[in-house]
Amino acid sequence: MARKENSNGLRTQHPQVDAPPPPAYFLSLTLSNFRCFGPEQTLDLSDGNGRPARWTVILGDNGVGKTSLLQCLSAMQPRREKIQGQDYFSPLMASHPIAQHFNLLIHTTRYFPSSLPFFARFRVNAHIHYGNKISRPAIGTIVKNYGIEKINSHSIGLNRIEAEEHNIGGLICYGYGASRRMGATSLVDKEETESTASLFSDNAPLINGEEWLLQADYAASKESSLQRQITRQRDQIQAVLVEILPDVTAIQIVEPDKNNLTPRVVVETPYGWVHIQSLSLGYKTLIAWMVDLASRLFERYPKSKNPLAEPAVVLVDEIDLHLHPQWQRKLISSLTEIFPNTQFIVTAHSPLVVQAASDANIVLLRREGDHVVIDNDVKAIEGWRVDQVLTSDLFGLESARPPQLDKAMEERNKILGKARLTKADKARLKELEAEIGELPTGETPEDMEAMDIIRRAAAALKNGQGSAK
């Protein structure tokens, strides 16, 4: 769809002649012989009832292909092309900016069993759901066998979809890599700001949040046909940032003065008004992709009363990056409320994100021999404590206690498991218990203090009974 810059630097849309395509989301992604993935694996992105899941959280060790899955999903975005007079939707069109990056990934395929030729057959296939918004219970139309194949060392095949038969043009992704950062200006080259570019390049900038707000504020002050629309967009982004940024209660545009010759965006915090560029990296990272996403939805849905409530697919690598634990627990519910018809597919390393997303689709990637498998059958963790999540198969920690206590605890449990204890065993137990000390059992400091009082009271009663005897 054509795009242009207005006189104030804000991206606007050419008028649409055709009706917008219906909402479209991912139901699954199947791949084989791609990077660390060997035999055919399927990433389930459904809610288990034939509909796309609002949230999918992908877990796994470093280097098991979490980012690769997000890149594959990005490459499945449909690009309309005409072949012999017929309109088709094809993934990964050669003219698309991310195609060059993705072709490089294809050629780094490294899983080559002896039974396969050196140029192993590579395949990525998606099932797509279209026709209904994700917040609605009805099941829409499902498209299968749409994807790409690397047949040999020189050719890549595309499994296309006829546009007249299935309109999947609404499957548009917005991707944010782990190195997501604000650009120096909001007026950046289109190729550099392709909607998923930061998933493929550490150097791909996002829209500069401060510059966007300054330009929107300026445009809102000038009479034009877009004044009301831009004013609403500026106010909506400010409201989103106040809602999602901890301890931020207001946002203002400060005019130039003798100390600062350029206008600035400042936020109100418990410490006073702070320049947006002086905030911590966690704040700036979230501001960067929030403003980038919102501005792209404003561009995509110019006639909507609330573009943020319209359909979208958002891919975020390491969504917990730079975020305080309290923030991690709140983020998923806040994003669900702000973007009610967005399908979020994210990776994470934090048990707090998993705990907060207890009703989400949780997926675990794990190594088996020389390749990675996708485990979609993860045990439900609703109501679990963070330490229980940490010591589950999702994260694989043997204990939530300090590492230095693990060996002592293991030896203690081994001795206690004996049918009879020798004098040496009993002496060693005393040594281990002295080394381990009193282990906290409560979930909060208040619980621990109460348990300590109970222990001391029990000890006093026991000593009193012993004296009476």
Write out pLDDT tens, residues 286-315.
Answer: 999 999 999 999 999 999 999 999 999 999
- Name the CA dihedral angle for 191, 206, 317, 179, rounded to a multiple of 10 degrees: 100
Report which of 310, 320, 314 is spatially closest to residue 176, judged by C-alpha positions: 314
Residues 34-59, mean pLDDT to the nearest whole number:
90
pLDDT over 60 at 463, yes or no = yes
Write out pLDDT tens, residues 30-39.
Answer: 988 888 888 8
- 């806040």: which residue's tokens? 334
More confident residue, 155 or 38: 38
pLDDT over 90 at 240, yes or no = yes
Indicate the helix (H) or strand (E) that contains 202. none
Lowest mean pLDDT among 6-10, 119-123, 396-400, 414-418: 6-10
Q: Return the pLDDT at 28.
A: 95
Q: Return the pLDDT at 45.
A: 95
Question: What does the buried/exposed string (b/e) look like for 446-463 if buried means 16 or more CB atoms within 10 Å of the residue's CB?
Answer: eeeeeeeeeeeeeeeeee
SS3 322: coil
Write out pLDDT tens, residues 64-121.
Answer: 889 999 999 998 898 888 888 888 888 865 455 556 666 656 555 444 444 444 445 6
Residues 375-398, mean pLDDT to the nearest whole number:
63
Write out pLDDT tens, residues 161-194.
Answer: 888 788 999 999 999 998 887 776 655 444 446 8
pLDDT over 70 at 370, yes or no = yes
Q: Return the pLDDT at 115.
A: 45
Q: Return the pLDDT at 4.
A: 42
Q: Which of 78-92, 262-276, 345-359, 383-397 has the highest mean pLDDT?
A: 262-276
Relative to beta strand 361-368, strand 371-375 is antiparallel
Strand order in the sheet with 55-60: 173-176, 312-316, 342-347, 55-60, 361-368, 371-375
Residue 131: band (very low, low, confident or very high) from pLDDT cuts 50, 70, 90: very high
Domains annotated for the chain, with CATH where assigned, are 21-169+318-398 (3.40.50.300), 181-190+201-309 (3.40.50), 403-468 (no CATH)
